[in-house]
Every structure is written in C-alpha cells, then in structure tokens.
Amino acid sequence: MTLAVRKFDTLVIGSGGGGLRAALQLSQAEANVAVVSKVFPTRSHTVAAQGGINAALANVLPDNWHWHMYDTVKGSDYLGDQDAIEYMCRAASHLVYELEHAGVPFSRLDNGKIYQRPFGGQSQDFGGDQAARTCAAADRTGHAILHSLYQQNIRAKTHFFDEYFAVDLVKDEQGHILGALTIEIETGEPLLIEAKTTLLATGGAGQLFCNNTNAHINTGDGIAMALRAGIPVQDMEFFQFHPTGIAGKGMLMSEGARGEGGYLVNKDGERFMERYAPHAKDLASRDVVSRAVATEIREGRGCGPDGDYVLLKMDHVGEEVIAKRLPGIRALAETFAGIDPAKEPVPVSPTAHYTMGGIPTNRYGQVVAPVDVGEEAIPGLYAVGECACVSVHGANRLGGNSLLDIVVFGRAAGNHIIEFLKEHRYHRPMDQGSVDKAMVNLHRWDRKGEGETVGGLRGELQQVMDDYCSVFRTKEILTEGVQKILEIEKRLNNVYLRDHSKIFNTARIEAMELVNLVDLAVATMISALAREESRGAHSRMDFPERDDKHWLKHTLYYKEGKRLDYKPVRVKPLTVESFPPKPRVY
C-alpha cells in the first residue's frame, strides 16, 4: 500500500502556546502551515499555566527589562545563555501588548493598565526590593493565551491535524530535516508530512517521574524524536521539582498553603524546616524545601507505612482562613487525598514540575549541534518552548518565565522560518531510507507475542526515576539508577501489545510514548551522574557546592553510544555587560 503524503511549507509538531505562536506568525505571512497535535489543540498543557507571564511594564512598581534579565540570569544559577535572556526580557513588553491585542483579557488596575503581581525571584535594581512583574488573566492566563492563539490561527487558515501523533522526523543524508512521519489516531493510518521546515513544540517530559504535576500528554515526544534523529539533547539533568505535591498523586499544594501559615512536619511531629532554614523556615525557596523533605524521607523520618511522605499541617490556620483564602487547595486535598486540610494534615512529597533541558537551539529557534569548531544549525529544524533549551532557564526556571519563553521564541522562530522559506523555495527530494526507518519504529508495535506490558514498564520507569533521579542525588544513587534504567531500556524489546486493531488504537500511541520516555530517562540519568556539582535544580549531596571552574557549561547527551559532550555557556549578552557568576542568595 502506498503511504499517504501531504506537503507544507512548515510542519509544527505540538499545539501549545509555542507551536501556535510560531504557526500564527507564519500563517499571517501566508506560509502554508500544518500543526500536528496528538490531542485537541486547546487541551495542550499550556492551559495549566495559571500563574502569569513576566514583562517589565512597570505598571505597579518601578521596573525595566535589564532588572528582569538580571533576575533570570541569577535564577538560572548562571547556566542560562545571556544573549537569549537579554533578547527575551527586551521583547517581553511588546509580546504582552501583542497578546492583549490578540484578545487575552489581562486583569486590570483601577487606572486601566495591566495588573502585575509579585512572584518569587523578582527584584528591582539588580537584587534590591521585590518587583511586581507578572501579568495575569485572573488565574487562567495559560488558558486565555492558548485560546486566543488558537482562534487567531483558525482565522489565519493554519491547517490543523488534530489527534495525529508524530512518530519520527525524516531527514536526508545531508542532514536536512524533511518533515515527519505521523499517524492518524482515529484510523491508524500513517501520513507522511513533507515540509521545508519543521518546528518541534511538544512540551516537557514530566511523565518521566511518578510524582509529577504534568498532564499525561507530557511524554517528551519531540525531545526523543530529536535524539533519534542524531541530535544531542542539552542539560537534561536540570528538572525543576516543587516541594509539596500530594503524595502519590503529584498535583501541587501551592506555596499559598505555607504562605497562610501552614508548615511541614515529619513522623515525629517535628517542624523540620526550622533545622534547614532557621530564618525563612517553610517559606524558603523551592529547591531548599524540596531537599529538606527528601532528606527527611531518606533518613527515615517520613510518614506513612512506607515512610515516603511528610505532612503539610494547616488545621491550626483555622476553618475560616482556609475557607476564605485557600479554597482551591482545600478542594484539591479533598478530591485527591480525601482529606479536609482544616481537620487533618495532607501527605506531601516533592513533585517533578518543569523540564529545563531539551533540544539545543539558538535565539532564532534554530536547532543547533556541535561541529568541529563551534556549532551549526540543523537545516530545516526548529524547536521552541519546554521541549527546547535555548537556554533562558539554565539550571532553574523562574515563575512567570515559561509563558514568556513560549511566545517570545515562538514568534522569533516564526520570523526566522519566514526568511528561511524565502531562500528555500522548493521541497527537497524525500529520503526513502529515512521514511522506511520511521515506518519500522511504527510497525514494531504490530509484533505479536507474550511479554511485558506498556503500563507495567512505564510504571517501573517512573518509580526508578523517583527513587534514583529525584531531588536527592549522589554518585552512588545515580550509578545504581543508570543500571536500572538501562535494564528497563533492554526490556523494552520484550513489550508487546495485545490490541493490534487500527481504529483508535491508543495502546499503540502509549507504547510509542513509552519509547520516548525511556530515551529521555537514560539521557537524564547519565547527564545527572556526570555533573559533579550542585547548581539550580540539580543538587548533588556529594558535591553540595556550585563549581563554576569545572561546570559552568552545558551538557550535551547523544543517543548513539550514550555519550556526553559539553559546550560553553553564552555569557556574553547582546548589548549589555555580562552578569558574572555570584553566590545565589535570596
């Protein structure tokens, strides 16, 4: 049977804010754009970003983009690339106004200007008083941005392939990316989408961990596709954890609970944060609290039959305060833990939240890989958003910077692609060998036999990541973790599907997601073992200090040979002075 083929100027894989912002830029420039999404576009994970988007509008307190840049560099623990960070912070105000014009209903001040709230890590005057930099559309900012962009794309005649799953990139022998092999989930029919340019915007990989805050769709598909196409992935050891997720479920009990007077206790009823952060106690920064919780659990002071969580105590705050100020937290605890926090403490443990690492790109969204000297763009391939590593977040992302990242670099990638298309007017010849290779990865799941299940192996993988690659990392733990994850990688070959039907065979999609997760778990674990320092979200108990002399550099992991390489951090901004590394004290 012949393979169905469609041709477009640009193929965008993923329909969150990053993909849709790029698609809009392109469709408005009259490029022929296809967006492929495995779920209906407005069900992308961007909707979960309720907090807001940072821009130095100075509507509430004095502010400017340069202070925002300083905070972002410092927040990144100096691993962020300062050219990209300058570009993002300078562009922020313009992009927020653009979103406003696209229909995002930002919350207002009495004077009619956009309201801005203070968030952690924001300062005035390079580390001075608290700044107020986060613009929000009530608590539905991500939803409002995603819906506005989706509607604008419909108007601009972007072509949507809803409920199509991208299997693999296709490329020719000269290394040009030619599009991707996809599969229509409803019919099970493969479709080859040829494109002069391909943009990966598939989001993060929170599903690597058992305890995570991410939607089930966040399986890192684009990052894994890049790895299989021979492209290294960058800084995968940097995964942001939030200290208080509901134990065993993962969803956030936000800082609000502790802000209103809630605190953490271990199995002895001890308020242990007093030992770790005598001053800030339970309101210390996320990484400090996460490490403290992990240490309590590790040292046998966790609660419950397996001693694998601590308790978030709020009952002393009082029924009235909880009903008035924390109704959302109460509803989450009641629904997912069966506990009313006004009466009983809630079991919590650290939960994986955000993938700082990803596909290496420059500030135009072009995917880049090392050559003999320096690095070169992979022709025809772009990446933006959480799946990319540009790197504006470095070792630790600040709240309010992820929505900014996706719109700034979505637009930048769109603009660069427009220029690229002017120079590359025709599709390159398809490379049949590359298509055949992708088809093998698809048809692998037609094999019949007895063996392991997708769900079983995914569960084990997530447990290994929780046990060996979470907040508490040492050489010993990670070495064992690498062994365990490599065993899981071997066992993948023995996974079989029971259902081989074509129509809506979601088991096959979940199997391909598992393959993606396994590739990324190996990348994360090996990168984490190698980095012998503590920086941002990567904290090594055996190397507790940041080591700029040896480790102020980006990790690159290659699937072939499972080898590591490193590249320098871009410490030179576009126009201003560089911010040299200093201790990160708040």
Partner 1 sequence: MMSVDSRLAWQCRRGMLELDLLLRGFLDNGYEQLDASGRDAFERLLKTQDQTLFEYFMQNKLPKERELIDVIEQIRHAAQT
Please report whether residue 479 would count as binding partner 1 according to CB under 8 A. Answer: no
| Among residues 24, 223, 251, 471, the one that binds partner 1 under rule CB under 8 A | 251
Backbone angles phi, psi at 563, to 5 degrees: -100, 160
Q: What six digits make up the tokens of 67?
A: 């202070």
- The strand pair at 310-313 and 366-370 is best described as unpaired
By rule CB under 8 A, what count of residues binds partner 1? 38
185 binds partner 1 (CB under 8 A): yes
Q: CA torsion, points 79, 473, 297, 275, in degrees to nearest 10?
A: -50
Point out which span in 118-126, 377-385, 505-513, 531-539 binds partner 1 (CB under 8 A): 505-513
Q: Which is nearer to partner 1, 132 or 333 (CB)?
A: 333
Compute the least distance from the CB of residue 332 to partner 1, in Å: 7
Q: Is 494 in the site for partner 1 (CB under 8 A)?
A: no
Residue 12 Cβ, how far from partner 1 at the closest point, in Å?
A: 17
Q: Is 578 in the site for partner 1 (CB under 8 A)?
A: no
Helix (H) or strand (E) holding 36: strand 33-37
Q: How far is the CB of 527 from partner 1 (least distance, A)?
A: 25
Q: Residue 288 Cβ, how far from partner 1 at the closest point, in Å?
A: 24
Judged by beta carbon, residue 337 or residue 408, the one nearer partner 1 is 337
45 or 535: CB nearest partner 1? 45
Q: What span, in angstroms and rounded, lies between the C-alpha atoms of 223 and 360?
A: 10
Q: Which stretch binds partner 1 (CB under 8 A): 419-427, 472-480, 496-504, 558-566?
A: 496-504
User: Counting contacts by CB under 8 A, is residue 534 touching partner 1?
Assistant: no
Show the site string, 117-156: x = touches partner 1 by CB under 8 A, - = not.
-----------------------x--x---x---------
Q: Which is nearer to partner 1, 172 or 510 (CB)?
A: 510
456 binds partner 1 (CB under 8 A): no
- Cis peptide bond N-terminal to 470, omega within 30: no
The DSSP H or E segment spanning 507 is helix 506-530
Residue closer to partner 1 (CB basis): 187 or 578:
187
Q: How far apart are CA 201 and CA 43, in angstroms?
A: 14
| Separation between Cα atoms, residue 535 and residue 167, nearest integer Å | 34
Q: Where do we find the tokens 């200290």?
A: 243
* DSSP codes of every residue in 102-130: HT----B-TTSSBPEE--TT-BSTTT-SB
DSSP code string of 392-419: SSTTSPPTTHHHHHHHHHHHHHHHHHHH
Of 198, 99, 200, nearest to 150 by C-alpha is: 99
Give the residue from 65, 58, 57, 56 showing the smallest Cα distance to 575: 65
N-to-C CA span, the chain = 62
Of the candidates 274, 306, 375, 499, which one interacts with partner 1 according to CB under 8 A?
499
Close Cβ partners of 354 (under 8 Å, ≥ 6 residues apart): 204, 206, 239, 240, 386, 393, 397, 402
- In angstroms, what is the minimal distance from the CB of 80 to partner 1? 27
**According to CB under 8 A, which residues from 252 to 291 bind partner 1?**
none
Q: Which positions ≥6 away from 432 have C-beta within 8 Å?
A: none
Least distance (Å) from partner 1 to the CB of residue 280? Answer: 28
Based on the residue annotation, tell me whether 155 is a catalytic residue of this protein: no
User: In this structure, is the dihedral angle defined by the CA atoms of residues 291, 294, 300 and 302, taken in order, positive or negative?
Assistant: positive
Q: Nearest distance from residue 147's CB to partner 1, in Å?
A: 8
SS3 per-residue string spanning 61-89: CCCCHHHHHHHHHHHCCCCCCHHHHHHHH
Catalytically annotated residue among 90, 228, 258, 286: 286
d(CA 527, CA 469): 10
Q: Which is nearer to partner 1, 345 or 380 (CB)?
A: 345
Q: Does 393 bind partner 1 (CB under 8 A)?
A: no
- The least CB distance from residue 50 to partner 1, in Å, is 9
Find the shortest distance in angstroms from Cβ 505 to partner 1.
7
Nearer Cβ to partner 1, position 47 or 569?
47
Residue position matching structure tokens 């922020």: 92
Contact between 582 and partner 1 per CB under 8 A? no
Cα separation of 188 and 442, whole Å? 10
500 scored as a contact of partner 1 (CB under 8 A) = no
**Ranges within 39-68 binding partner 1 (CB under 8 A):** 39, 42-48
Binding mask 334-373 for partner 1 (x = CB under 8 A): xxx-x-----------------------------------
Per CB under 8 A, the list member of 21, 68, 176, 249 interacting with partner 1 is 249
Residues in 292-331 that interact with partner 1 by CB under 8 A: 327-328, 331
Residues that bind partner 1 (CB under 8 A): 39, 42-48, 140, 143, 147, 163, 185-186, 212-217, 249-251, 327-328, 331-332, 334-336, 338, 499, 501, 503-507
Which residues are known catalytic residues?
A: 286
